[in-house]
Structure 1
């Protein structure tokens, strides 16, 4: 049942809050409980809040840039995702958004959650990683993944960043460019219907879009020559590209990478347009060969995407946001956020409003349901979000997990958000492994978290679970219940040339747990390789592990190799040579 006794009151912004006027605060009957407010965060107040960040809170440059661009464009929307402060005044969540506010030089409107328990850190942001294609699918746009792929490639082309390490454009920019270039959707449709399937779709779609803006007849001729080379002269540029594709296709070592094929196709399309046919088409990536390399080729006559650029004016954005805060402060009535106890029946009712959303990931639902059944669920201030029309915008996995677990959870619920808020959840940065405040100054968090995941998958994973990973709460419990695993991180770090640190830490833990005394001998010999006769199984293990490391073999294969050698050593510890085993 939802708690209806939530009070609404106006109050001046306290010193710890961003300055700049009154706010509306929602607080339950317990004054020590969570408190939520809507705040206008300015670059100055963001700087103040960042002074209270956790020591381990690192910056995510890509997220900061994406947020800052959205803020400058005036596309940052109040979406219910809060800046979170703990009971001790520590900034638990929001570092990237605050950094972006400073970078953009404009304020943003957000929910501020205060008085949240410090120990919920590991539960914050357990959302699945999402893509811009998911946003497009939810809008009902067909061929969303192909459209996103073409959009990314065309933006990189315009930016002159087609070569290695180019990164991906911010989602706000992709959305802006897509709106300004409606013919891209038609180009994707035509590309998917094209018979030139020998040319990969990742190259064919952006090339068709660019070509149709330059010379439709020449582009059609080029793609027809790729699809039906026998209908054209052997010197036809499209036919020459088809020959190159066919020659290199069979061998992974010679198969053309998409960026190389795209460059060659641009050269060949230029030749089709000009009528100056060449015997061969070549291009060398400058990042691979600085001496003989070339710049990425330009399609003659193509002027690029229509990009309206940053639409927002900093002063106008500030004024409009301040006006929004004033309106919220002046309004009476029910604030659109409440803390609710949501049981299976309520969750099912809420899920009936789950329209035009992303596909539900069963493994993610399973993970949350396990936390609920195990009593690990924690109210962490991240709300279930509904739009003004009542559509469920964010929270489908948590609600589905409540239904699956058959138990209730306590969670904030925010209503009355704009429909446009749906897209903004996808640009929120996803965090790496979080082990709670106790590990804030611990430098090996990723290694320990990865080792704990291995232990869970091999020893604790429930039978029949789908593509399962442990939840942060399960990872923390493993670390607490297996302190020796934490200590084995040192062995994993020392042996990094032989395998992944997490694999070797977990393997060492298993070996020592099997037989502490003999395991210590095995690990010492594995670490040093000293005084072992030629052909000894531990020397062979060291060689094999180095080969697997160079070949970047998966962690399962690395772990299997170590534990197999340990099993043989444990059975015959006195034998020195492989051939005597």
Structure 2
């Protein structure tokens, strides 16, 4: 019997992998656990069923994915094919995948890690995420440098390894030292409590009640500085600067060396007079599993264990690895005669990595028994492009024949997250969000770029009116694509809410407008473009041009009047 041997799992409660024979009866049972919004792909089901019936099904490492609650995240088409074919098939099965972090596959997930924490029932999720990010940046000496956000995988591991952060957030939110911004106060409490709780409490009390202390008390001096600078936006302290000053003042309190004033100037802003970001005396740092990863010796032993297992027939070694840019380059050296790399796909994954939204899923990078890279070239290329590591399963020992099977796997449409599953017109809203991204957020120089599903989700979350305007888009499909209508309406309302609503009301009904009115002309012109199957860009350009003319002279009734104005 084929089996997976998982080596050096980073998390004993993390994903579990096995190789199993799925019978039609077992497939029926698993299908009861499918996602409510999952959709069947008849073509994929037919292809899979034919391969199963003819004995051409090959174990290729792509797993059926089951969440911690037993929800089927991926594998619907293969299970349906098994039932249709009436024969069993052998596959990898991944279990114990977190529902709250990875509610779809292929990195199509919630945008906010705070949303993940809220789904777990954790209080003050936003403050907790903010403190986590700041503490990790401090640990990495990245407080003053522009860099990508820490990955969700790392945020999750750091939070699990530092449970006292939860209590630090609670203490911070209950503190009377509200003059000190919460974004500074919370990480300062966490760090200070790990050094000296009594000194930290005194510092915060002095910030809250400076009148109770001597004028040279560090906390009181910080309070004076905040009051002195807060009135003028030009002098108001930025959070990073205030955090640095508080660390200096805390050091003075810890060493009993009070100063008359505390200041800090970023060296990256002023190389001559600036300083590096200060370090808190005695702070031991976060317990960070990333920082205590495998040594070279451990890595060598891991590779030796994998090599030994690969010699055994019907055994497939699987490791969960942190793929650094150097390791990605090494793995890509085995990318012989693979498919053409799609640059836009690499760009999209790299953006997710840089923004900290990559999460390890159960889909492995796959190598054959001969060492050939079978699947994963886009993720490895994205690691190189982003210059940052990701965590991913790596499966070895697969047959070389598996290479040809990856292309028949069904392509999945965007799954926009549970918050966006409760309404209709998901494709319309997603398409409108894509339009917004391409026109307003697309990175300069991006090649044939499309937004990632997480970016689409973020747009809808950040622009809720776009979601509400789907009704307008659906009503106006006679004149253009619903996504174009919704996005155009959003742009118009954003330009001028009051006048925009008037324009859209007249555009929707065309009622009581005199012959030749520019809105009636717009409706006629759009119907022509609709029949001619004009592009989204042409439709959008027509609407926004009419809106620009209307906005200039809303009281002029006709197109001719506008032309002569």
Per the normalisation by structure 2, the TM-score is 0.61
Matches within 5 A, 1:107-506: 107-118=88-99, 119-124=101-106, 335-506=316-487
Q: 1:122 Cα shift?
A: 4.7
Moved beyond 4 Å, runs of 4+: 21-25, 331-335
Asked if residue 58 in structure 1 is aligned to residue 39 in structure 2, the reply is yes
2:525 aligns with 544
State the secondary structure of the residue aligned to 1:525: helix
Paired residues in the alignment total 358
Asked if residue 92 in structure 1 is aligned to residue 92 in structure 2, the reply is no
Q: 1:333 Cα shift?
A: 11
Asked if residue 579 in structure 1 is aligned to residue 560 in structure 2, the reply is yes
State the secondary structure of the residue aligned to 2:17: strand
Aligned-residue Cα RMSD (Å) equals 2.0
State the secondary structure of the residue aligned to 2:478: helix
CA distance in 2, matches of 1:572, 1:86: 57
CA distance in 1, matches of 2:30, 2:314: 30
Asked if residue 81 in structure 1 is aligned to residue 62 in structure 2, the reply is yes
Q: Quick one: structure 1 residues 498 and 98, their matched pair in 2 at CA, closer, same or farther if it must change by over 3 Å?
A: same
| Structure 2 gap ranges (5+) | 109-308
1:156-201 Cα offsets, whole Å, 9 max, x none, are: xxxxxxxxxxxxxxxxxxxxxxxxxxxxxxxxxxxxxxxxxxxxxx
Q: 1:332 Cα shift?
A: 10
Per the normalisation by structure 1, the TM-score is 0.60
1:491-545 Cα offsets, whole Å, 9 max, x none, are: 1111111111111111111111111111111111110001101011110111111
CA contact (8 A) 2:3 2:314 kept: no
Q: 1:442 Cα shift?
A: 3.0
2:140 aligns with none
1:410-433 Cα offsets, whole Å, 9 max, x none, are: 111111000010010000000112
Q: 1:123 Cα shift?
A: 4.5
Q: Quick one: structure 1 residues 487 and 60, their matched pair in 2 at CA, closer, same or farther if it must change by over 3 Å?
A: same
CA distance in 2, matches of 1:514, 1:462: 23
CA distance in 2, matches of 1:576, 1:442: 38
Of 517, 521, 525, the match for 2:506: 525
| Structure 1 gap ranges (5+) | 1-20, 127-327
Q: 1:117 Cα shift?
A: 2.3
Q: Quick one: structure 1 residues 100 and 500, their matched pair in 2 at CA, closer, same or farther if it must change by over 3 Å?
A: same
CA contact (8 A) 2:3 2:316 kept: no
Q: Quick one: structure 1 residues 559 and 550, their matched pair in 2 at CA, closer, same or farther if it must change by over 3 Å?
A: same
